[in-house]
Amino acid sequence: MNLSDPVVDISLFSLPIGKKDIFRSEKPLVLEIGFGEGEFLINAAKRDGSRNYLGLEIKRGRFRKAVRAAEALSLENLKFLHIEAEIALRQVFRERMFDLVLVNFPDPWPKKKHSKHRMFNQKFISCLAKVLAGGGRTGIKTDQLSYIEQIVAEFKTSGLFRPAYPPPGFIEIQTGETETKFEKHFREASQKIFSADFLNLPSQTD
Ligand SMILES: C[S@@+](CC[C@H](N)C(=O)[O-])C[C@H]1O[C@@H](n2cnc3c(N)ncnc32)[C@H](O)[C@@H]1O
């Protein structure tokens, strides 16, 4: 595998894969789920060589756009996987391998009849807990108040994480130091942006 090729080809490995399969290094590892066109991860990887950055995206067009942008930069600490997130968390990654998992603007599915499609449910949260290091953090941003409230409730119900913020468990953020495409769009429309962070509790086996 070429170290600066941004695409991870999981068919080259026996599963589950670990940090060293992807990056050949044990640096702290950040995962972004649903990276869209990848601008957040690309900027983060460019600015911070002390960590490795891996992104998952299900939409092929967005994935390809991010790959093209990353190819021009030849960064060794940035990789992308074209895969559905829950499948990846459940079947592809070794346990406890991520230090930070970020989900920037998960699809909101605002209509009640569609809310079953939202990413954060008990199954997904338990998959997250398994791949995050004990004490590792997950950070979520959304412009939807009802969604962030539901996310806080789901994490609380899971008993697997501790909220990093006091009640109500999320904050409204004013400035985006690393804005994503969706974040820029929401700010320009003067929409509020909410952020919640959760710390993974050590499991019985840690
Ligand atoms: C609202 S967009 C946000 C994109 C980007 N994070 C941003 O802030 O600009 C949500 C992204 O998550 C991706 N996505 C949704 N469900 C996913 C899943 N189950 N696995 C991987 N990616 C997913 C979508 O394809 C889309 O690109």
pLDDT, tens digit (0-9, with 9 covering 90-100), for 141-189? 999 999 999 999 999 999 999 999 999 999 999 866 667 889 888 888 8
The pLDDT score that the predictor gives to residue 4 is 77
Residue 107 is among the residues annotated as catalytic for this protein: yes
Nearest CA to ligand 1 atom 27: 36
Q: Model pTM?
A: 0.96
Residue 109 lies in a domain: yes
Nearest CA to ligand 1 atom 12: 34
d(CA 57, ligand 1 centre) in Å: 6
Residue 98 lies in a domain: yes
Residue 5 lies in a domain: no
Percentage above 90 pLDDT, the chain: 82
Residue 206 lies in a domain: no
93: Cβ–Cβ under 8 A, 6 or more apart, which residues? 16, 17, 18, 131
Residue 3 lies in a domain: no
Number of Cβ within a 10 Å radius of residue 205: 7
Domain that residue 68 falls in: 10-200
Which residues form ligand 1's pocket by a CB distance below 6 Å? 33-36, 56-59, 62, 84-85, 104-107, 119, 180-183
d(CA 147, ligand 1 centre) in Å: 15
Least confident of 28-42, 83-97, 192-206: 192-206
Look up the CATH number of the domain holding residue 86.
3.40.50.150
Residue 158 lies in a domain: yes
Residue 95 lies in a domain: yes
Mean pLDDT of the chain: 93
Report the number of distinct structural domains present in the chain. 1
The pLDDT score that the predictor gives to residue 10 is 94
Alpha helices, DSSP H, located in the chain: 19-23, 39-47, 60-71, 85-87, 122-131, 145-158, 181-188
Give the Cα-Cα-Cα angle 37, 82, 195 (nearest 5 degrees).
Answer: 50
Cα(166)–Cα(164) distance, integer angstroms:
7
The pLDDT score that the predictor gives to residue 2 is 75
The pLDDT score that the predictor gives to residue 27 is 97
Percentage above 70 pLDDT, the chain: 96
Which of the residues 9, 107, 197, 206 is marked catalytic? 107
Between 184 and 194, name the one with better pLDDT: 194
The pLDDT score that the predictor gives to residue 116 is 86
Query: What's the average model confidence in pLDDT over 92-118?
Result: 93
Query: What's the average model confidence in pLDDT over 23-46?
Result: 96
Nearest CA to ligand 1 atom 5: 36
SS3 36: coil
Residue 125 lies in a domain: yes
